[in-house]
Amino acid sequence: MSKNTILSIALAVCIIAAIGVVISVNLPSDNPKPVEKDILTITYNGIQYNYSLSELKEMEAYTDSGRMIKLSMLPEIVITDSHNYTGTNMTTLLQQLSVTEDNYTLSVHSYDGWISNYTYSMVHGEVSVYNETGSIIPNATAYMLITYAEDGIDYTNESGPGQLRITYVNNHCITSSKLWAKFVKEIEIITE
């Protein structure tokens, strides 16, 4: 055999091997990676933005503690235990969507049909913060989170939909339970 024939055969073998590798890499796997479902939809200016839990976790995480006061129980004061909540600061999420208006309302829809509305000021922490006796602390603020974990445990461990919550945190601060929401599925940004 001539040198050219051997080189031609070697080149043909290499090309066939390369084609085989390309085909095997691009074949569907027996164990396809599951597609993660979206757990949050945000509507802004008529456009819907969908987020999976992984996408929310890829954003800057914020962890802090907070408590609720149940004002509907007055004259008794009922304050929940403090927990550490982890999630995305609502202002961070809104910055990612380029929300620049300073006069909007967030309409938060939950799987159980509950709707909670939050003004620009509330989103930016201008809410009533209480002390242990139920009195309002002047000039205190809290951070609004879209929360996916409590005390380090993801809400995904719970069965059913609604793995997100709205919480207010800032070093064990106490805010009204009416500000908190659970089973969150959708946020509509209403500009005025």
* Domain annotation for the chain: domains and CATH numbers: 38-191 (3.90.420.10)
Question: Rounded mean pLDDT of 122-131?
Answer: 96
Query: What pLDDT is recorded for position 127?
Result: 97
User: How does pLDDT run across 40-89, given as a tens digit for each residue?
Assistant: 999 999 999 999 999 999 999 999 999 999 887 667 788 999 999 999 99
Residue 141 has pLDDT above 90, yes or no: yes
Contact of 188 with 43, CB cutoff 8 Å:
yes
Neighbours of 46 (CB within 10 A): 5
Query: What pLDDT is recorded for position 16?
Result: 76
Which is it for strands 104-110 and 129-130: parallel, antiparallel or unpaired? unpaired
DSSP 126: -
Query: What pLDDT is recorded for position 171?
Result: 94
Choose between 120 and 72: higher pLDDT.
Answer: 120
CA distances from 166 to 122, 129, 141, 144, 185 (A): 12, 16, 16, 7, 11
Contact of 42 with 48, CB cutoff 8 Å:
yes
192 vs 184: CA distance, rounded Å: 23
Residues 6 or more apart from 13 whose CB is under 8 A from it? none
CA distances from 72 to 18, 28, 141 (A): 71, 56, 22
Mean pLDDT taken over the chain: 87
Residue 22 has pLDDT above 90, yes or no: no
| H helical segments located in the chain | 3-26, 53-58, 90-96, 120-123
Residues 6 or more apart from 119 whose CB is under 8 A from it? 104, 105
Three-class secondary structure of residue 81 per DSSP:
coil
Contact of 47 with 80, CB cutoff 8 Å:
no
Please indicate, yes or no, whether the overall pTM of this predicted structure exceeds 0.75. yes
Give me the residue label for tokens 């004061």: 77
Query: What pLDDT is recorded for position 122?
Result: 96
